[in-house]
Amino acid sequence: MLESTIKQTGKEKIIIDENNWRQLPGTRIEKVDFLNIVKDVEPFLEIPEEVELITKSDILKLIRKLKQAFTIHSGDF
């Protein structure tokens, strides 16, 4: 599913496998123009000041935390 989504949204061909799938979100976020994201999202925010929460730094921190959580709990499956 992730691979098909990336194919739809990107021009470059990306192969996703069990060795690289955890690195891809952070790698892709590094290339994103966050000014465009803010412009797209801002009209939908109930509290306009929340636009300040949409930063590359914060998204990358969230991805790192999700990776850590997944790594810790992946042994449970």
Residue 61 forms part of a structural domain: yes
Residue 68 forms part of a structural domain: yes
Residue 6 forms part of a structural domain: no
pTM: 0.53
Residue 27 forms part of a structural domain: yes
Name every residue whose Cβ is closer than 8 Å to that of residue 30 and which is 6 or more positions away in sequence.
Answer: 56, 60
Domain that holds residue 48: 22-76
Give the model's pLDDT for residue 44: 94
Residue 16 forms part of a structural domain: no
Per residue in 24-37, pLDDT (tens digit) is 676 777 778 888 88
Instruction: Give the CA angle between residues 8, 67, 4 to the nearest 5°.
Output: 15
Give the model's pLDDT for residue 75: 55
pLDDT lower than 70: segments of the chain: 1-14, 16, 18-24, 26, 72-77
Residue 2 forms part of a structural domain: no
Structural domains in the chain (count): 1
Give the model's pLDDT for residue 8: 60
